[in-house]
Amino acid sequence: MTHTTFHFPRGFLWGTATASHQVEGKNTQNNWWAWEQTPGHIQNNHTSGLACDWWGGRWREDLDRAAAAGQNAHRLSIEWSRIQPAPDRWDENALDRYIEILRGLSERKMTPLVTLHHFTDPLWLAELGGWGNERVVEYFNAYVGKVVEALREYTKLWVTINEPNVLYISAYLMGIWPPGEQSLKACLQVMTNLVRAHAAAYHTIHRIQPQARVGMAINYRPLHPLRSWSPLDRGAARIYSQMFNEFFPTALHSGSLRFPFWRRRVPEAKGTQDYLGVNYYTRDYVTANLGKLTSAVEKPRFPPGSDVSPSGMFANMPDGIFRAVKWALKFKVPVILTENGIEDADDRIRPRYLIQHIHQLWRAVNFNFPVQGYFHWTLVDNFEWERGWTQRFGLWELDLETQARRKRSSADLYAEICRENGLSTDMVRRYAPEIFASMFPE
């Protein structure tokens, strides 16, 4: 009988990822809160409400659980609208609250990875045009400087902007996120502003904290032609991949913004990533729709028989995480898996998803790919943007009525992986016996 353990390098970061609006609750100062108030914007007309009550202090018990489970790191985000509720006002009490959380991580011997923008904007910025206004670069840079000055004692690891590709497509092309625009012209302007804002933030962070490590987190989704024989599907896959996967990290690597029939130089962006954060969830298959640019990203498509999540949005395709890391190598910086997970309220798919993805990540490490950490999405069920509370990604289940947390089996599995700094065949036998033979054929 096979017995082995696939170990990761010493000092590898094992954690979970969260985002401020999704866990804090009771924030009425940002554009997402305003968006939630209009019926039809969020599935089932859900609102974030109290979320996971982190602003009320429940971060302590959740981080206690994470630390007890062997996690040595945690990724969290800062809420811009709390720090700067008006363009001419800073809230020092809010900064103190984040300092308290970062101190809490230090006390639990957990490394913080701090995200400065995770989809939400202050209401005042939204009223000025949000990311479509070129002045957003100076506004964002001032906010970044304020936060880094306050928090530099507690962390050296920063994400400037989370998933800019998801932001510009969802908010400015598909129109399903605030401000609800559907304009390629607006989208290209926002893409440019996001690159410029990241570049300015990168230089500001390094000026304040020279030893900082600064990156961004891209949602990498391998896109394949649904019909490999079709030139239209192959062309659509290339165009969508250029817009979704390639645009932002290429800009930070080369200082060049590249999109079909459109080029722009942003020289200050060249070389502004000390590592690349990769968020990987699933692969997807693309078919051409000449009448609608966004058709490829609106409805995921998977091969027949795929191991698909309850909503149909995600499929368990673990080879994609290896592909994601291999893709990231061309940018010539270390890689951190800043998000990976699957929605699964019944915890039916997640154990095998987690095992198979971490095994593929070990393969990447075994090829000497420079992978430095893994952050599972997420610690506890949270508010999932336009999908509200319909998707449950947490290792811990959240009861919205009582705020009670209930541990899922996959929480114990991930705890064993973190403590071992690796994945063992024994873990596979106990948590996902149905995949053992396929992973370790006799």
Cis before 179? omega within 30: yes
Angle between helices 136-151 and 92-107 (to 10 degrees): 50
24 and 51 Cβ atoms separated by less than 8 Å = yes
The CATH code of the domain at 5-439 is 3.20.20.80
Q: Which one, of 59, 51, 22, 24, lies nearest residue 400 by Cα?
A: 51
Annotated domain spans of the chain: 5-439
349 and 307 Cβ atoms separated by less than 8 Å = yes
Q: Measured between alpha carbons, how far is 251 from 262 in angstroms, rounded to an integer?
A: 13
Q: Measured between alpha carbons, how far is 28 from 122 in angstroms, rounded to an integer?
A: 9
Q: What is the reported pLDDT for 11?
A: 97
CA triple 28-24-100, angle to 5 deg: 115
Q: How many residues does the chain have?
A: 442
161 and 252 Cβ atoms separated by less than 8 Å = no
Q: Measured between alpha carbons, how far is 136 from 145 in angstroms, rounded to an integer?
A: 14
Over the stretch 275-332, which tens digit does the pLDDT of each residue have?
999 999 999 988 877 656 555 556 788 888 999 999 999 999 999 999 999 999 999 9
Q: Residue 174 is encoded by which pair of tokens?
A: 């598909």
First to last CA, the chain: 8
Contacts with 432 (C-beta within 8 Å, 6 or more apart), sequence order: 351, 352, 355
Q: Which one, of 85, 86, 107, lies nearest residue 94 by Cα?
A: 85
Q: From the first residue on, what is the mean pLDDT of each consecutive set of 10 residues in the chain (442 residues)?
A: 89 98 97 98 98 98 98 98 98 98 98 98 98 98 98 98 97 96 95 98 98 98 88 87 94 93 93 98 85 62 92 96 98 98 98 98 98 98 98 98 98 98 98 95 80
